[in-house]
Amino acid sequence: MSVGALICGCAGTTLNDNERDFFKQANPWGLILFARNVESPAKLRALTDEFRSIVGRSQAPVLIDQEGGRVQRMGAPHWRKYPPASRFGELYAHDCLTALSAIRQINRLLAEDLYDVGITVDCVPVLDVPQPGSHDVIGDRAYATEPASVSILARAAVAGLMDGGVLPVVKHIPGHGRARSDSHLELPVVEASLNELRSVDFAPFAALADLPMAMTAHVVYTAMDKSQPATHSQKVICKAVRQAIKFDGLIMTDDLSMKALSGTLAEKVKRAQAAGCDMMLHCNGDLDEMQQVAEASGTLSGPALERASLALACARPPKPFDRVAALDVLRQIDLESV
């Protein structure tokens, strides 16, 4: 059975007939969910179950951005709010062992929330390293402002997620931390030297290069490519991501509907594939746009198919854990909120 080389969204908390037909025909590799798709645990589980039933793959990935802080698609009243990544960095600066234990246990709690409703991939950790003058689109979503701490904290977060049966996606490779604008709205241009990028921006991605999946940055790095953002740049994907960072896993684009990218959706897909991206990501749930992306993306094959299969093979069943103790950790470090 051919599988589409795309991950796409849907419009609401249930699928409509047109979406069902689309999923059956396009057979996207995965589904990504947002707050518009979230109502209750029962409805969310029904949605993920139906998607997998339609595509006929029980292990078809369902993704979400559940970072904590201001990027959290599942929230009150059914799910607790988690802290932003920067809170762990603040704790790490004062008590590194407590911070590492806390981040692992709290991400294990978060993974349970996701796994229980059929979500098996979380688009974390954010490995971007904010620099002075950068846009706040990353801000407190980052663990710290220096790469070693980002790497160490992210590794602990990943351990908690994977202990809970949830796969991570590192983002935004090769680094969004210097961007002075929001790529949702416009194309950021980073003019740092290659040495600066290697020593700071690339470093956390290199430290976690063994992880199964990464999401690109819609950012121009003039030291490598003066005109094309990473998502559309063969120079960046091949020389930075594959060679310098040594990331061998599945590369998915950031959302193709973001305004940082120019051209038609078909053009965006073709440029991303030519650059070396394996998987197209389209998030807004617009069915007409999804159909355009699916048609342009084609089906998974060759190295992209192998990397997608290897990524899913990294998943393991949730391990037992002490939920009461993890909740106590959340309260003790003043991270829990209503």
| Domains in the chain, CATH or no CATH each | 4-45+59-116+123-332 (3.20.20.300)
Instruction: Kindly list the catalytic residues.
Output: 184, 254
Spans of the chain below 50 pLDDT? 335-338
Whole-number Å distance between alpha carbons of 256 and 116: 29
Distance of CA 124 to the CA centre of its chain: 5
How far is 253 from 153, CA to CA, in rounded Å?
24
Q: What is the side-by-side strand order in the sheet with 121-122?
A: 167-168, 121-122, 62-64, 28-33, 4-8, 280-282
Residue 241 tokens read as 């991501």
Cis peptide before 28 (omega within 30 of 0): no
| Angle ∠(247,138,164) on CA atoms, nearest 5 | 60
> 30 with 7: CB under 8 angstroms?
yes
Residue 43, phi-psi category: left (phi > 0), alpha (psi -120 to 50), beta (remainder)? alpha
- Let me know: does 96 contact 165? Beta carbons within 8 Å: no
Nearest to 214 by CA among 244, 185, 174, 183: 174
The DSSP H or E segment spanning 194 is helix 194-196
Read off the DSSP letter of residue 36.
G
DSSP codes joined into one string, 110-166: HHHHHHHTT--EE---B-----TT--TTTGGGSS-SSHHHHHHHHHHHHHHHHHTT-
287 contacts 18 by C-beta, under 8 angstroms = yes
Tell if the pTM clears 0.75, that is, is over it.
yes
What's residue 337's pLDDT? 39
Identify residue 28 by its one-letter amino acid code: P
Cβ atoms < 10 Å from Cβ of 316: 11
Q: Which secondary structure element, helix H or strand E, spans residue 199, and what is its range?
A: none
Per-residue pLDDT at 63: 98
The pLDDT score that the predictor gives to residue 334 is 62
Shortest CA distance to 168 belongs to which of 218, 210, 130?
Answer: 210
Structure tokens at 29: 């590799």
At 108-129, the pLDDT tens digits run 999 999 999 999 999 999 999 9
- Please report, for the chain, how many H helices and E strands are present, in that order: 12, 13
289: its two tokens = 């746009």
Name the token pair of 1.
């059975």
Q: Which two tokens stand for residue 291?
A: 């159909």
